[in-house]
Structure 1
Amino acid sequence: MIKLGLIGFPLGHSFSKNYYLKKFESEAIENVEYDLYSIEDINLFQDLFGNDDKFKGFNVTIPHKQSVIDFIDELSIEAKEIGAVNCITIHRKDEKVSLKGYNTDAFGFERSLTPLLENHHQRALVLGNGGAAKAVLYTLTKLGISYSIVSRSSENGDMTYSELNQETIANHTLIINCSPVGTFPDIDKCPDIPYEYITDKHLLYDLIYNPEETLFLKHGRARKANTKNGYEMLLLQAEKNWEIWKNNF
């Protein structure tokens, strides 16, 4: 039996567990199980895989995407540059155990974004500067798209929400919400930007996938902007995780 799992805290409803269990069933993948491991203290992580050699890999979610790096022996190029890990493989040789960390969020974001990009999408506004933004910023740099980070505090970004005006919105036709504002159950909330300046030249991308259409995206659609939620990004990174793990079985 091969064990895979998700570590984070707290862990409520998990997309990952449902996704992989359905995948295993539909594709007749046997002898692989996936479960949730709610770990508040990241120092408990080593006991989890260290005492059970059936573990071959993990997903990592908040709040451990950065702190787990202390337990990683090798980082992929993108994980090193982003400074966050959401996928881990466990390698065992003789009695030595080594871990490699990856960031597949960047892969999922890039693959889901690029088909929507047009020539005029040269500058982006990134709403929020938390952990979710790290893979986004890495991808924008890779794609040659300049960006400005919008935060509630001037210390955490290039500008604050109150500084956004018509000129700023006009000059940034790609707007990406990396904040949790608008996530279920707070579906009546959205980032505080001047939506009246959004046009049909804009692309609004929300990392949130629940609800399917956030208020942020509704405002964009009302102004004829192209819109995209984070669900495809989630699917793409999940499949990339499986590809990475499978090569380690």
Structure 2
Amino acid sequence: MINKGMTGAEIAEVIELPPAVVNTWSTHGYYGSVSHNVKAIYQRYMGWFDGNPARLWAHPPQALAERHVAAIGGLDRTVELAQEAYDSGDFRWAATLLDYAVFTDADHAAARSLYADTLEQLGYGSENGTWRNFFLSGATELREGNFGTPLSANSPTIMAQLSPEQMFDAIAITVDGPRAWDFDLALDITFTDLDRSFHVTLRNGVLVYLEREPEDAAALHLRLTKPRLLGMLAGDTSTDGVEVDGDIGVLESLLGVLDPGDPDFDIVVP
């Protein structure tokens, strides 16, 4: 279907699985769905761009929503059309219209209320759990506000299981690039409990690491256990239990540009 010019969304609407698969209860979409996974397969092979030049440089969601709402005739008209779609059972179109509405005015009471009802209906009609949870989470956020992230992926128990490579990768994706653009930092880190050493650099806002023996020319060489480094990343920046050879300011500069992000961002309002 890709070779016929169809996009991921188009393929997801029409693809058919063999009857032997469809009629077997264990292959039903209780966790994922064919529609969801088809789009993921398309994106893996084709990327986000589907070849239509109108979608090559579209406006971002909020700017696009404001333009759609203006073209439709304003917020009240958009909600009116969404109500008509809802009443006719076209919850997908209602959700699209109401997405435009709340991205234009996140506090529009009628849009929020109808959007929550719409997402609830979509949730009730979802066989697979992930879609149902997304729909119902959106409805909850619209009615009650942001409810945060119930689980933490950086708990001490999980972090303790990371390899040094995974730990450095986790650090690298929290670097605030613009704040670190002018940095040219290098340090060696030896994990005394693992007998492994890494050379870490931060240049052009990008953290890179390489496993190798420490060099005398390094501005800073730290000798510590992996749990101790995890403790420093968690906020304990004292040098207790750490052998420091060189300028500790190098580490302080690195830690100073780490941004943990916001795990509790909204999902249905801008």
Does TM, scored on the shorter chain, surpass 0.5? Answer: no
Larger radius of gyration: 2
Higher strand share: 1
Higher helix share: 2
